[in-house]
Amino acid sequence: MAQYILALDQGTTSSRAIVFDQEGNIRASAQKEFRQIFPRPGWVEHDALEIWSTQSGVAQEAITRAGLRAGDIAAIGITNQRETVVLWDRRTGEPVHHAVVWQDRRTAAFCDTLKAQGHEPTFQQKTGLILDAYFSGTKVRWLLDNVEGARERAERGELAFGTVDSWLVYKLTGGELHITDATNASRTLLYNIHTGDWDDELLGLLGVPRALLPEVRSSSEVYGPTAEGLFGSRIPIAGIAGDQQAAAFGQACLERGMAKNTYGTGCFMLMNTADEAVPSHNKLLTTVAWQLPDAGGQGQRTYALEGSIFVAGAVVQWLRDGLGIIRSSGEVEALATSVPSSEGVFLVPAFVGLGAPYWDSYARGTLVGLTRGTKAAHIARAALEAIAYQSAELLTAMGQDSGAPLKELRVDGGASLNNLLMQFQADILGVPVVRPKVTETTALGAAYLAGLAVDYWQGTEEITRQWQMDRTFEPQMDPGEREHRMNRWRRAVERSRAWEEAEQVEAAPA
């Protein structure tokens, strides 16, 4: 019997592959960064073929590093950067344009047009999403209207659209499967989270032909095997979930009211709301957490409230690559700890606008409170604190929407290993922050979803039992000091807002 699960974790800045064993421990991993393409300010693109080559390469590398062969892998689970759009030729498998990344803001003006026409309530009610350039639907429409001949080819059924999970499955299966799962579908502005299907009214408003779309499947089922000759043996692909939903699953946030925060390129907080799609009154998102097959073989959807921060770990990359004040991301904690406080410096990393709870496409990064005494260390500390401040605003909004104050926050992602940040996060939240032993919970969630589908694990109870705590950070800050700091943070945010002028509003498609 095959003994391991392979998780493919396709992220915003790198592709990773991790081999997990039966206890949920990491046997081997491999990772490779790829290019970030910035054609214009506010535009972000990836080379979809580079995504594929790095992901397939690290998959083989991880299997080899584990001392295994493809036949030792029981199943593959896929988790991915969400909302990023790939458009490709069905026959050749060639992309017709660079992938347009979730961070990209080029369709902000079109979103303004749709809002002005009164369509936002329709989108919000059906999809649970804010009408924003962050999501896939307006990016698809942009590609169809700006790549020569794309709309005509799409209507003839020659092109395929997918988020990164769809693209990887298409390539892994040699073009046999064009599918997505409910979590990724729920991030497109095209999918009705209540009916569980693509929505014709939304497709019409965005001008997206149904012929482009992948089939929506559950997050945990055997979709099909990898192509002959790809890994030396055909491996079942059996789990798919967007990265934040996968992280919540990997954190065993399987009961209503449990929440996690992932500190990656962006920062994403999810709270399980069980079978209820809770509408937000605080500009959070209502989204599909995962869809598991029920006893009748139909999909049983679990929902979540989500808050999205566009720039979290990416602010540390900016300190490294943009300012050059650190040589590697790992140096930021030591530099920030070298001063006792930021001395009143606040950094609002609105490099690509602000996500929840503001949703301001025209905000830009702001550094305030500088004096002649400000050093690189103060800026580094302010950068880390900004991640925690943004997360605290999400938690407040989430508590108001759900009606249940959070008892603890489970954390994961690269920056969760930063003890200074985690302690400050607990301080500014006023609740314990709990870090698990396995912080690669995004990949672990994808592995669990795949393993459940092939009976590698027997049920969600087994997953709950496997979750193990590494460390709890207890809040130590005085409540009055906490409130004072949050007020100062909000003042800094206000100075970043609506900095860019709105582009000329586009006409809506006929």
Which amino acids are annotated as binding site for sn-glycerol 3-phosphate, given as ranges?
12, 82-83, 134, 243
Strand partners, 409: 433
Residues belonging to the chain: 510
Q: Compute the distance between CA of residue 385 and CA of residue 216 in angstroms, rounded to an integer.
A: 39
217: three-class secondary structure by DSSP: strand
Strand 267-272 and strand 99-100: the pairing is: unpaired
Q: Are 205 and 223 in contact (CB under 8 A)?
A: no
Q: Compute the distance between CA of residue 103 and CA of residue 84 in angstroms, rounded to an integer.
A: 8
Please state, in angstroms and as integers, the Cα–Cα distance from residue 79 to each residue in 167, 219, 221, following that order: 12, 10, 14
HSE-CB for 321 with a 13 A CA cutoff: 7
Q: Compute the distance between CA of residue 312 and CA of residue 431 in angstroms, rounded to an integer.
A: 20
Q: Compute the distance between CA of residue 389 and CA of residue 367 in angstroms, rounded to an integer.
A: 14
Classify residue 118 by its DSSP letter. Answer: T
Give backbone dihedrals phi and psi of 442, rounded to 5 degrees, phi first.
Answer: -65, -50
Number of CB atoms found within 10 A of residue 41's CB? 10
Q: Are 408 and 431 in contact (CB under 8 A)?
A: yes
- Token readout for 281 is 């009154």
User: From the annotation, which residues make up the binding site for ATP?
Assistant: 12-14, 265, 313, 317, 414
Helices (H), 45-187: 48-65, 108-116, 120-127, 136-146, 150-155, 164-172, 182-185
Helical packing angle, 243-250 and 441-453, nearest 10°? 80
449, 452, 457, 459: CA torsion to nearest 10: 100
Q: Are 111 and 131 in contact (CB under 8 A)?
A: yes
User: From the annotation, which residues make up the binding site for ADP?
Assistant: 12, 16, 265, 313, 414, 418
Strand 346-348 and strand 220-225: the pairing is: unpaired
Q: Compute the distance between CA of residue 365 and CA of residue 132 in angstroms, rounded to an integer.
A: 19
Q: ω into residue 475 within 30 of 0, thus cis? A: no
User: From the annotation, which residues make up the binding site?
Assistant: 12-14, 16, 82-83, 134, 243-244, 265, 313, 317, 414, 418
Please state, in angstroms and as integers, the Cα–Cα distance from residue 99 to each residue in 82, 167, 276, following that order: 12, 10, 33
User: From the annotation, which residues make up the binding site for glycerol?
Assistant: 82-83, 134, 243-244
Q: Compute the distance between CA of residue 484 and CA of residue 466 in angstroms, rounded to an integer.
A: 40
